[in-house]
Amino acid sequence: MRIAFLSSSGELGGAERSLLDVMASLRAAEPSWSLHLICPAEGPLVREANSLGVAACVLAFPEPLARLGDAGLGGPAGKKVGRVAFLLTALAACGTLGGYVWKLRALLNTLAPDVVHANGFKMQVLAAVAGLRSKRVVWHLHDYVSTRPVMARLLSYFARQCSAVVANSRSVAADAVRVIGSKVPMFVVHNATDLCRFTPCGATLNLDLMSGLPPAEVGIVRVGLVATMGRWKGQQVFLDALSRLPRSLPVRGYIVGGPIYVTNGGQYTVEELRGMATSLGVNDRVGFTGFVEDSAAAMRSLDVVVHASTSPEPFGLVIIEAMACGRAVVASRAGGAAEVFHPGVDSLAHIPGDAAALAECIQSLVTDAGLRTRLGREARAAVERQFDRSRLSAELVPIYQAVCAVHAR
Ligand code: GLC
């Protein structure tokens, strides 16, 4: 079997890390299959794919197409992104679309894959516009389609061009059915992770040095939010929660991550977050590391990992990664993330956006080392049972085979 993976980004956000897990899982289970990756930019995804033995090539997005994104247009964050700016970028992108689609179609004709696995809305639409002769296209959804006003219309329009949809949670699948209907078979494949890389013991990082902070005193409990800089990832809620903790509590917060996407708007800058920390009076209690490539090492350097997304999280890969590292996790319970963990057993939970409740969870973990140890141990055991990435190939291979059987050449 030959599979061509298409990625909408060359950076390593959750959707791309999940794609790497899919490719690694297939490599191990089906070593004779030939896997190709088409990426819109050079970067860490190409490097990591190559090191897995996947033939990765770059078909660079023209600049306006790379910048085009409707993530900031829907919902409360929408105010941050001007509709006018979006329309101008869209107009410029349209001018470059024909040429890009022509090259994509030519490349796919040369690779002659049995299945095209499109990761990310942009590549899902581009694969459809390319009008591939064989309809063996699988869309892998990582986000809620309904929150993306433009993509929702396009995906609904082009749904007949794809033969199966894979969603990363039941919640994302239900949302997709509401938007695109049930004209395409829909499968839920929960993400999984590399349990040999995300381990309780292993390399750590000096988060204080990376954040430009003096070394923390002995006994300080390190609590960190590890996320991309999407405005809905809850950095402001985390800072607010830190500001509600008693000054005497031995805790230091960290915001681990940087703005990695090149699409318009929708992301915080580190400067903006520093400004927030200053106005909340917590700038001496929180460090900003910037983007960290080795997220496993970053998580191992923390005692508590916080997930604070303010909107329902489609899945929350970072939650299972932190659990695999045996860390005590506090997560915001909504959307697909609610399918992932069991509050009180392997984690603690708060309602999205509730800074007071998040502060309470953090305080109980900072003051109770036994609770941290117990939750961390249960968390590791839970991911070993449910989220080992060998499951990914076991679930995806039958989907690819079914797609090939239905659309036999
Ligand atoms: C996207 C989603 C996130 C998910 C990841 C991998 O980044 O927002 O919730 O964990 O994709 O599926």
pLDDT, tens digit, for every residue of 10-44? Answer: 998 899 999 999 999 999 999 999 999 999 999 99
- pTM of the predicted model as reported, rounded to 2 decimal places: 0.92
Pairwise CA distance, residues 211 & 286, whole Å? 9
From residue 115, alpha-carbon distances to 32, 192, 389 in Å are 15, 22, 21
CA 309 to ligand 1: nearest atom: 9
Return the structure tokens found at 243.
């500001």
Label residue 247 exposed, middle or buried (CB < 10 Å: 0-12, 13-18, 19+): exposed
Pairwise CA distance, residues 167 & 184, whole Å? 12
- Residue listed under structure tokens 């770059």: 58
Q: Which amino acid is at 46?
A: V
User: Do residues 217 and 250 lie in contact, with contact meaning Cβ atoms separated by under 8 Å?
Assistant: yes
State mean pLDDT over 32-60.
Answer: 97
For residue 115, the CA-to-ligand 1 centroid distance in Å is 23
DSSP code at position 247: T
The ligand 1 site (C-beta within 6 Å) comprises: 13-15, 18, 142-143, 168, 191, 313-317
Cβ contacts of 354 within 8 Å, gap of 6 or more = 237
CA 314 to ligand 1: nearest atom: 9
pLDDT confidence tier of residue 78, bands split at 50, 70 and 90: very low
Return the structure tokens found at 131.
């009008």
For residue 239, the CA-to-ligand 1 centroid distance in Å is 22
- Residue listed under structure tokens 């809305």: 121
pLDDT, tens digit, for every residue of 230-242? Answer: 899 999 999 999 9
User: Do residues 8 and 122 lie in contact, with contact meaning Cβ atoms separated by under 8 Å?
Assistant: yes
Pairwise CA distance, residues 256 & 233, whole Å? 12
Confidence at residue 378, expressed as pLDDT on a 0 to 100 scale: 98
Cβ contacts of 34 within 8 Å, gap of 6 or more = 1, 2, 3, 55
CA 228 to ligand 1: nearest atom: 7
Confidence at residue 401, expressed as pLDDT on a 0 to 100 scale: 97
User: Do residues 219 and 298 lie in contact, with contact meaning Cβ atoms separated by under 8 Å?
Assistant: no
pLDDT, tens digit, for every residue of 124-171? Answer: 999 999 877 666 999 999 999 999 999 999 999 999 899 999 999 999
Q: In terms of pLDDT, which residue wins out, 24 or 87?
A: 24
